[in-house]
Structure 1
Amino acid sequence: MTSLKGKTLFITGASRGIGKAIALRAAREGANIIIAAKTSEPDPRLPGTIHTAAREIHAAGGNALAVAVDIRHEQQVAHAVSLGVAEFGGIDILINNASAIGITSIPETSLKRYDLMMDINVRGTFVCSQLCLPHLRRSKNPHIMTLSPPIDLNAKWFVNHAAYTTSKYAMSLLVHGMASEFRKWGIGVNALWPRTVIATSALNVAQAGGSHYSRTPEIMADAAYEILTRDSRRITGNFFLDENVLRETGVTDFSKYLTVPGSEPTTDLFVDP
């Protein structure tokens, strides 16, 4: 296990939710966080901006660089990477967290939403990984972590939301490919996904209120920390579930992560009960 002190993390979508939780977990050890997210001005539907996240990261003990980035545009990603490297001297970890959601059937999925999911989820993951790669290769313990599910081609995971599933599985396929291709450089490339529904603002927007029977983003942050502090040359090509990662470290009580004390959290969309 290594410390994240002094490590630099490039996190997409880090202004709120799981991305911000991972950033704050790393910040508590003195990490540097490049907040690469779109929201620079308050949005009434989605609380939090890159600037409020930066203040929280500083308060937690880390360093933050807030950069307004739409990862659909490679020029914006390249600019954020350049600013981050100039500020912190390099990039050690990339978290591909930003994602668009559209849990709708094929007839109900607009082409605009389809393109958004493919551009952010798939293209965005590819662009960020490609542009961070030269800097990751210079790191002593480089990691890429993508928030995408294990691949299962059972039709039940496609019914009623084929476009969204396709976009998330494409992210997982990139994990599979990068893990093999980047192994020679010692870069650990892994996917992380929640076993249960995670309470986020994006979920509330996508599912009209989300789920009360859920866990907080902190469970994903704690699982991410366990993976990112391991030797990147020994841990790559895995599709982790947050609960399983923590159980392997000896955690048996997950009650502190519940949004409703005493409740039974709902199993996530891509996980069998």
Structure 2
Amino acid sequence: MDKLSSRTIFITGGSRGIGRAIALACAKQGANVVIAAKSDTPHPKLPGTIHTVAEEIEAAGGKALPLVLDVRNEDQVKQRIDEAAEHFGGIDALVNNAGAIRLTGVENLKVSRYDLMHQVNARAVFSCSQAALPYLRTSDQAHILSLSPPLNLDKKWFAQYGPYTTTKYAMTMLSMGMAEEFKRYGIAVNTLWPKTLISTAAIEFEAGGAELMAHGRKPEIMADAAVSILGKSASELSGENLIDENVLRAEGVTDFDHYRYSAGNKQLMPDLFLE
């Protein structure tokens, strides 16, 4: 039986990149997938909307519910969580994938951009998890999975882009807290981060350009790791800050070449916050 058969997975920012890959991987495991993102209509530069991903999910054998969601709006968050639970009869997992990035220091970063990163990264983990909690409490295999890094307090991760770093670390610290707070409900709470750069539009347009993409891996490695995590119980795995490659190695995976974004032997670049 597929690990996630008939489970309902709510994914924020699920229309592109890592979120889309996780959505499709969950669908292939027989899950009901809620794609919650702002992309209701096509973007002039970025492919994919919540509706095109819903079509892909249905084609992969899953059931999809596309919902327009701005994770900065707590009222809308609660409304969409409630709609998803009503549609599928509950929620078994929340994947906090929506993210905002700008690798700039305090001196040159607009306050409005810092607010955006804080709201989409840290604050959304809080509001989405709180809204999903009543439904997760009734699931027998509940998960909250946030895409944020292990805590590395080396000064170099704060020197050039401290604002972004603090919002991502806040996601992790909230997750560590929720793992303990929600332990009594049997809810697994973990974080997941890539060992290497993941080649997505965020990298191409916000963090280095097309050349950098050749030094990364496809989003599917994160998706496969997420499916592995979501398939475990809280007693097996909770309160951990996980790395995608390590998760898959523990599952017996030894060949990672097919995850490379570009063919050839270009050096893979470690992701941020990892040595």
For residue 77 of structure 1, what is the aligned residue in structure 2?
A: 77
Aligned runs of 1:62-141 on 2, under 5 Å?
Answer: 62-141=62-141
Asked whether the 8 Å contact 1:47–1:201 carries over to 2, the reply is: no
CA distance in 2, matches of 1:204, 1:128: 28
CA distance in 2, matches of 1:54, 1:24: 9
CA distance in 2, matches of 1:159, 1:259: 29
For residue 223 of structure 1, what is the aligned residue in structure 2?
A: 225
Give the % identical residues. 50
CA distance in 2, matches of 1:80, 1:34: 10
Aligned runs of 1:178-257 on 2, under 5 Å?
Answer: 178-207=178-207, 208-209=209-210, 210-257=212-259
- Provide runs of 4+ in structure 1 moved above 6 Å: none
CA distance in 2, matches of 1:28, 1:41: 25
CA distance in 1, matches of 2:94, 2:76: 16
The alpha-carbon deviation at position 64 of structure 1 amounts to 0.6
Structure 2: which amino acid aligns with 1:232? Answer: A
The alpha-carbon deviation at position 152 of structure 1 amounts to 1.2
The alpha-carbon deviation at position 106 of structure 1 amounts to 1.7
Structure 1: which amino acid aligns with 2:273? Answer: F
The alpha-carbon deviation at position 45 of structure 1 amounts to 2.7
Count, aligned residues: 272
CA distance in 1, matches of 2:116, 2:255: 38
Segment of structure 1 superposing worse, 171-180 or 261-270: 261-270
Asked whether the 8 Å contact 2:3–2:29 carries over to 1, the reply is: yes
TM-score by length of 2: 0.96
CA distance in 2, matches of 1:120, 1:149: 15
CA distance in 1, matches of 2:225, 2:264: 22
The alpha-carbon deviation at position 173 of structure 1 amounts to 0.4
Structure 2: which amino acid aligns with 1:66? Answer: P
The alpha-carbon deviation at position 105 of structure 1 amounts to 1.8
Per the alignment, do residues 234 and 16 of structure 1 end up closer, same or farther by CA in structure 2, a change over 3 Å counting?
same
Pair 1:271 & 2:274 matched: yes
Superposed CA offset, 1:97-134 (max 9, x none): 00100111221211111000001101111100000000
Structure 2: which amino acid aligns with 1:228? Answer: L
Superposed CA offset, 1:26-80 (max 9, x none): 1012110111101101112322110011011111110111010000001111111
For residue 155 of structure 2, what is the aligned residue in structure 1?
A: 155
The alpha-carbon deviation at position 260 of structure 1 amounts to 1.2
The alpha-carbon deviation at position 2 of structure 1 amounts to 7.0
Structure 2: which amino acid aligns with 1:258? Answer: R
CA distance in 1, matches of 2:109, 2:45: 21
SS at match of 1:231: coil
Once superposed, what is the RMSD of the aligned Cα atoms?
A: 1.2
For residue 264 of structure 2, what is the aligned residue in structure 1?
A: 262
Asked whether the 8 Å contact 2:192–2:244 carries over to 1, the reply is: yes
Structure 1: which amino acid aligns with 2:58? Answer: H
CA distance in 2, matches of 1:111, 1:100: 14
Asked whether the 8 Å contact 2:200–2:213 carries over to 1, the reply is: no
For residue 49 of structure 2, what is the aligned residue in structure 1?
A: 49
CA distance in 1, matches of 2:130, 2:236: 22
For residue 31 of structure 2, what is the aligned residue in structure 1?
A: 31
